[in-house]
Every structure is written in structure tokens, then in C-alpha cells.
Structure 1
Amino acid sequence: MPDPILMRQGSLGVMIATALAALSFAMLRRGSHAHSVREKLPPDLQSWRALDGEEGIDAITWGNLRELFKARGYTFWSPRRDSLMVLPTDTDIASNGFGYAPLLRGMDERSPLSNLYSFSYPHPSCQAAQAADGRSVVIRVLAIGKVGRRHIDILKIAGRGPYSLVTWNHTIPLLDLIDFEDITFGVFPKVGDTLVAAYDGWAENSLGDVLDMILQCLEALGFVHGMRIAHQDAFKDNFLVQWQPESLKARAYPVSRPRVYLNDFETAVMFGQDVPIEDCVCTGLPHGASFPGPEKYRRPIPPEVESGKPYNPFKLDVWQFATSLQDFKSNIPEVDNTLELLRNPDPLLRVSAYEAMATIANVVAMIPPYALAVPPIVLSDV
């Protein structure tokens, strides 16, 4: 049995080390050194997001912050090329609970395990790092000055606090908020993969694997919608998965299932609980603090958004999600019809995320597991 005195001493040591790191970080934030570092950083969110326009400038920019974050207990991953970062070879790693790799493909440099040692950022305002206890995290610039505060407010409600402990909540957890001068950084767990890899790629997932992920995505949207939060960028690349189960390669029914997380709430909007649901509307294209103007918006747009009139952003979420799955087919009429309904051009005909989840879940529950141990159908002409 562990000695309780030694355990308390160990805990005290961790507390002291954490306090010293925080004190060191605070000292670095003050004075001329902090101002000198701040002058080397982008002035606003749009400038930070646009860093990938020049080779290596993103790594140089984050390099100015390396010592500041090291004092806080975070070791930056090393830039490799373009948008790729890798775990430094001399850095320890421990499970963070959000990324795993089945042993189906081994543990060499070409296996899915190696994906947990690399990070290809979606935009330059993200930086992979290793926490002091070995957990892999992603640090993101959330706000500069007053711009981006809505993003933080939403994450504080959905990604922290009591709601973050609810099983239905798939919002990626907000582990830490760090202020430096006028910049606020958010720290998130590094999650294994994206839903994009679930089919039509390297992963040999069964239809059952993919349907489980789709159900979790609908549950994720249904929960935040219940909190009066609309994501407004709910395409499949913003859903992260702990691992790809590859039941077809394993040739076995999976005992455990990967959890899906909803990521990137920059375009999200939040309404008060006292606002009537019919008054929860938006106009114009979804936008975020770091997004360029509407002329460079590259996502698909449903008719109600193009009209310029007020629209229901919750119906936009389900349309975006189902539209990103238009190349997927289950060959189960009730499932395919429900997904088709979610991307109907008429928002009045779209059901809610929870209704779609309940319909598909009831259908899947009636199908023997072995009948779902088949490849999903990928439509190549969409």
C-alpha cells in the first residue's frame, strides 16, 4: 500500500512546482521583456491566421513565445514542414485520454500511433505542445483585445464547468486559459483524428463504426443546441475522434468505441435561455474573429443563408453536417433518408439534431451487429 505521507509530499512537490512555474510566467509577462515579445507577434487574429502565407513565419512567430509557455509548463512541438509539427524526440509522452491507436497496424513510424506524435494545424493560430505531465495539448489564440471574446464566453459554458461533465456534451474541453498582454490563449487536449478519416481513406472502418460516430455527432449538436448555442461550422472536419476502430481490419466486433468531440467554436453564436426559439436567428454568412471577409468564404451555403434574410442557425448546423456527409451512404433507407432530410434545401423540412439522432439510433438498435460489419458506401460523383 502506498505511504500516505509520501503521497502527500509528492502532491506538495507538484503544487510547489506548478506555483513556481506560474510565478515565473507572471514575471515574464511583466515589464519590457513582455512588451518586446508582444511587438513580434501579429497585431490581430486575422493576421495570425494568415501567417502561412510565408514559409516558416508561423514557426518563427510561435518561437517568440516558446520560453513564456515553457515557464508555464508547456513544451512546444518542433516544426517540421509547412503546417506539420512533431513531438520532440527527447520529450516524454503520457496518455491524455483523447488520442489512442489500436495495435492493428503495429507501432512503427507508418502506423496510426505515429499520428499521435505529429500535428498538422488547421491554421497558424494553433500550436501543439506537451504539458509538464506528458499530456499532448493544442494551444490556440482565442482573442486579441476585445476581438474573440464571444468565442471564449461560449467555451467557458460548453467546454468548462458542470456542463463539461455531462455525457451528452461532446464539446472539446477547455483545459486552460492563458493571458499574455492583450492576447488570450486556450489550451485543449490533442485529439486523435478527425471524422474526415472515418471513411474513403486509409481507415478500414465498418458501417457500424461510422454510424456510431455519426450518432455521436448528432448528439453533440443536439446538446449544444439545447444550450442555445449554434456552432455554424458543423462540417465533419470539425468533429474529432479518439481513434479509428477499423473493425473491418480487426475482423471483430469492437468492445470499446471511440468518443467524438465537437471542435472550433469560433463561428458559434449563443442566445439567452429566455429568448424565444423563434427569435434565435442570424443573418449573413457565418463569421469568426479571425475569418477573412465573406468574399473568401469557401464552405457550402444553404439557400436560406444566401437569401440574406434571418435564418435558424440550428437548422444551418444540421444542414452543414449532413452536407459534409453527402458522399456517404449506408444502404439503410431510414438512415439515408434522415441524412437527406437534414440537408433539404427547405429548412422547415429539416428535423432537429436530436430527432435525427433518435431516428437513426432506433434503426441501428434493431439491426444485428454482424449486419453492420460491412464497408460503408462512398459516392464518388458528389
Structure 2
Amino acid sequence: MSGWLLNIPIQATCSPEDAQMYAQWTKEGDWDLLPSERAWSDRQSLLEERGYILRQRYRTGWRPSWLGHNRDPFSCEDSIISRHDHVIDATRRKDNLLVSIKVVKDASNEVKIARLVSSPQVVRNPANHCVSVLDILPDPVFPDKALMVMPYLRPFNDPPFNAIGEAVEFVKQTLEGLHFMHSIRVAHRDCAAANIMMDGRPLYPQGHHPVEINRTPDFLHEAPHLSRLDHPVKYYFIDFGISSVFGERDPPYVLGTKGRDKDPPELSDHTPYNPFMLDIYILGHVYQEEFIDKYSGLEFLEPLVTAMMHIQPERRPTAEDAILMLHNIISSVDTTLLRWRLRSRSESAPERVVYDTVAVAREGMYHLRRLVR
């Protein structure tokens, strides 16, 4: 449910015997930097010179914080290993902004498109839902690579959606973002769920850890979060690794079967297909799997999703037409329904009673707050 989570601490201390055991494990290399992490440690000096500070684990001369103390390393922030070889989090010194830094091929199509969607003339457009590039640095480890700095984002579905209106807002923003991309002749070609993220700062005013994203920045407690319904977030498309950009007179056709979603029927290494219509299918598939298949109460979105996933690409709506379809659908929906909770299709009858009771109470408090303002 939405609202603040319980502030559950991790057990930070351990017995002297356990501390001795952990010290021995550390000596034997159990918490040594992985090879991919050592590459980031080698980049640390350059990044710091450019104003980006890595976590303590990756700084020169790092010594595990639990050594010499009765601390459980599993409760120590500097024991946390990055989960991706080619992406790491950092803090921008000048404003403490949390950022992500990605290793990319220098002068690649990904860099070209990332620069395009981050250019001054489009970056301020509210319809632009492409992650922006803040900086591109030379990679001191691999000369043919570059380090692309972007705002830190978290998965769009963590924390889970709670209200019908939250799901509708996600659909609205992502269609708006897709229409914007297509209007500047960029086809994403891989806009699957893993490549859609959100700026979660409105939900986490106290912040959260960049790797263990449901813990506080110090890793010691559960990170409390707020509701999307009352604290709206913005969603972003990321990863333009297989994206395509077309000139005004270029025929919009491509070949290839790369991408996370293997279901689109037109994917082919031999027969050209329209990547803009591919984006429509992939995004419709996101709505199908992430919302309609998981929750009850979103059946009103099914005509839109069915149209977007039509087996014949030419019969799918454009992104602009899909937005119009969504607006027509929303206009026929009672606005009070949008604040009602999403019901998981897997929840039991007793769970439904409890969650519905909480939802009614929450809605009552919402209307009471509006009355007293």
C-alpha cells in the first residue's frame, strides 16, 4: 500500500567472534572489488576531477569500514556491489545530484541520439521523456569508450502502482514521450519495460540507496516512500543502443531482431519493417503485461492496447493517434475511479476486504484534507 513504510533497521553490530570471522573472510577476498568494479575504481580520479564522486567503495585507498569494529559487513554501505558492469551511480559535487554514469562506445549511434534528445532546443519540451545527457567524458580505461552521465532514475514500477489513475498517468506520459521521439524522427526500437524508468525523487524526499533502492542512503533502514497519486513523478525512456534516427526524406525501414521484446511479429533480419510501428507494439505490450495482466479494473484500456498490438503494423495507430484514443477513453471514465486502488489479480478475497477498507479510509482522508484547506 502507499504511504510511509515501517522504518525497519538492519542489525548493524555483531559479536566479537563474528567480527573476527568476517575479518578473516575479508582477508581472503570475500569483499574484494570485482574486475568490473576495479575498472570504476581506476576511473575514480578522472571522475572526481570532473566533479563526480563515487561511493566510498570505489575511492582510492578504500578500506572496508567494518574492519577493526564489531560491525556486520552485510549492514555496511561499502559492502554493496554494483549490479551492472557498465553503469554506476555517483554524486555530482556542485549540487549533490545523484547521477548514473554509463560506459558507451565513443561516437556511437547511442551517443548521437542521446545528444539529439538532450539538445537545448528539445530538452525543455515537457513532452520530452527521453533521459537527458548531462555530460560525456573520455574513458581513461578504454580509449574507444566514453562515459555518459545522466540523471539517476529508478525502475518505473518500484514501488508498485497503487491507484488506477497512476497507471493511466504512466500510459499518458509514455505515449506522449513516444510521440515526441517520433516527431523528431527517432525510433527507440527497444522501449520495453526495462528501458522505462522514473525520477523517483518526489516519492523519496529522504532519498534512497542507489543500488539497494528500497533502503535509505546509509543502507540501515527501509526507505519510506510517498504515493504517486499525491506526488506525481515523471517517466523516461532510456538506452538508445539500438535506436534509429531518420532524415525527413529517409524511408523509415530497418532490419534486425535485437531488443528485449521478441514478440513483435514483424521482427526480421531479412524483411524491412517500420520501427515506428514496432515502438507502438512494444509499448502496447508493456501496458498489457505490466497493467492489464496484473490488475483488475483497467479493462477500459484494452481497446487501446489491442489496437497498438495489432498483428499488422500498418493497422496500428501512430503515437499521436494512440494519444487521441487515450484521451477519448479517459473522457468517458468517472474521475473518482482514477483514485481507486489497483486490485492485483492474484489477491485473495480476505486481502481484498482489507485493502479495500484501507483504500476507503485513505480516500476519506483525502477529501477531508481538501475540505479543511
Return the TM-score normalized by structure 2. 0.64
1:217 equivalent in structure 2 = 174
**Matched residue SS, 2:136:** strand
1:143 equivalent in structure 2 = 105
**Matched residue SS, 1:224:** helix
The structure 2 residue matched to 1:260, chosen from 222, 235, 242, is: 235
Change (3 A) 1:139 1:239: same
Matches within 5 A, 1:63-212: 63-78=41-56, 123-133=84-94, 134-144=96-106, 149-180=108-139, 181-191=143-153, 193-197=154-158, 202-212=159-169
Change (3 A) 1:252 1:230: closer
CA–CA distance in structure 2, aligned partners of residues 67 and 250 of structure 1? 34
CA–CA distance in structure 2, aligned partners of residues 120 and 321 of structure 1? 32
**Matched residue SS, 1:317:** helix
**Matched residue SS, 1:267:** coil
Q: Does 1:309 align with 2:306?
A: no
Cα deviation, residue 196, structure 1:
3.3
CA deviations on 1:44-100 (whole Å, 9 max, x unpaired) are xxxxxxxxxx982211111111111111111112559xxxxxxx99xxxxxxxxxxx
CA–CA distance in structure 1, aligned partners of residues 119 and 81 of structure 2? 25
Cα deviation, residue 312, structure 1:
0.6
Cα deviation, residue 340, structure 1:
1.8
Cα deviation, residue 302, structure 1:
1.5
**Matched residue SS, 2:131:** coil
Change (3 A) 1:342 1:253: closer
CA–CA distance in structure 2, aligned partners of residues 228 and 183 of structure 1? 26
Cα deviation, residue 251, structure 1:
11
Query: Does the CA contact (< 8 Å) of 1:227 and 1:273 recur in 2?
Result: no
Bigger radius of gyration: 2
CA–CA distance in structure 2, aligned partners of residues 274 and 162 of structure 1? 22
Query: Does the CA contact (< 8 Å) of 1:77 and 1:127 recur in 2?
Result: no
The structure 2 residue matched to 1:357, chosen from 298, 312, 323, is: 323
Query: Letter of the aligned partner of 2:45 in structure 1?
Result: E
Change (3 A) 1:255 1:163: same
Structure 2: state its 5+ residue gaps. 1-31, 59-63, 66-77, 205-223, 347-373
Query: Does the CA contact (< 8 Å) of 1:209 and 1:245 recur in 2?
Result: no
The structure 2 residue matched to 1:342, chosen from 294, 300, 308, is: 308
Change (3 A) 1:272 1:183: same
CA–CA distance in structure 2, aligned partners of residues 215 and 341 of structure 1? 16
**Matched residue SS, 1:309:** strand
What percent identity do the matched residue pairs reach?
22
Query: Letter of the aligned partner of 1:282 in structure 2?
Result: V
CA–CA distance in structure 2, aligned partners of residues 230 and 270 of structure 1? 6
CA–CA distance in structure 1, aligned partners of residues 308 and 261 of structure 2? 17
RMSD of aligned alpha carbons:
3.3
1:284 equivalent in structure 2 = 256
Query: Letter of the aligned partner of 2:326 in structure 1?
Result: I
Structure 1: state its 5+ residue gaps. 1-53, 81-87, 90-116, 288-297
Query: Does the CA contact (< 8 Å) of 1:206 and 1:372 recur in 2?
Result: yes
2:13 equivalent in structure 1 = none
Q: Does 1:228 align with 2:189?
A: no
Query: Does the CA contact (< 8 Å) of 1:126 and 1:141 recur in 2?
Result: yes
Query: Does the CA contact (< 8 Å) of 1:178 and 1:184 recur in 2?
Result: yes
Query: Letter of the aligned partner of 1:212 in structure 2?
Result: E
